[in-house]
Structure 1
Amino acid sequence: MHAALLAVLAGLGTGLSLLVVIGAQNAFVLRQGILRQHVPAVVVICAVSDIVLISAGVGGIGTVVRRWPAALTVSAWLGAAFLVTYGVLAARRALRPERLTAADGAGASARAAVLTCLAMTWLNPHVYLDTVLLVGSVANSYGHARWLFGAGAAAASTMWFTGLGFGARLLRRPFARPGSWQVLDAVIAVVMVCMGVLMATRA
């Protein structure tokens, strides 16, 4: 029982250490949370995607990723193009502060939010390197308890995206001012473009 608990806690800690960083996916979830736009769908997509990837890593699919580097290269170029494009759009929003309010984009469709979220997650090659390879490798070092480690990592993902998506609404009042949105979108633009360029250079 003690060993099982340690495996779960180790997975939880590893998962959180990989998630609690400024990245494209987190920035997108935060923005959707502040706007209160399609938050349940976004949170579910992020959490379920991580659970699928973690399960693949724990199950040993990481070896397939290692043997097919071309897939990561293609993903890197597509992801880079997507992130740079999203960053440019965020920069355009930041340059129009008079249009940046808490209601901005209220008409955005659920389909657009879902497709953007899926692209943020599955076109990022680092998700395969971190979630599949890294988490999978560490999990398999726990032997028979590897699935408990994976369960801890999956729990970390679920808790993080739920807290980020639904907790972001607490920032809604400060973001009632256009200037706050200008700063947020400027930060998002820098993060997205930098990550896209970095991704392309490493492809």
Structure 2
Amino acid sequence: MRADARKNRDHLLAVAGTAVTEQGVDVSLRDIARRADVGLATLLRHFPTREALLDALLRTGFDELAAQAAALESLGSPRDALAEWLRDFVAWTTEYRGVTTLMAAAIEDTESALHASCVTLRAAGARLLARAQAEGAARRDIDGADLFALVAMLAWLGDQPALASRADRLFGVVAGAILTGTGHGNTEGADPR
């Protein structure tokens, strides 16, 4: 890709990121183009569909979370690694309004542009969970799909203005239900069982 085309694409992604943060994943493509000071045709030339735009926008975050999970697999206690990754994953998903619904649909839809990224992310979390389970630091009756659904649930809470103030406390409750053993790690007040 030429340098000027890369610069234009990066600018469109930056503007789209702000728009999705403010208005959610259903933000108008025309609005994004207007904010970027380009025509809709220019936006569509770079990103032919809304899903292609969202995939490009979200892929960096997905990749960073997957890389973080891989790094945490070999560092520290499995319990703290899982708690840290869960907190960061929930925080990232609440950054973009409505992304949890999109991710839940994409993980089941093999034709979705987001499918592969969501599957990779779920697998990364499943490996952290399995490591914690092997050490006796996490419940054994949940799997990666359950963990992914719990993250979506917690992120949804943060996406609801009337419930956002409860999100941190409820993260601790859910993390305490997942994690076992002594100590609270990074769950901030979780009640481990």
Asked if TM exceeds 0.5, the reply is: no
Q: Which interval holds the TM-score relative to the shorter structure?
A: 0.3 to 0.5
**TM-score, with normalisation over the residues of structure 1?**
0.31
Question: Which structure has the higher relative contact order (CA within 8 Å, separation 6+)?
Answer: 1
Where is the helix percentage greater, Structure 1 or Structure 2? Answer: 1
**TM-score, with normalisation over the residues of structure 2?**
0.33
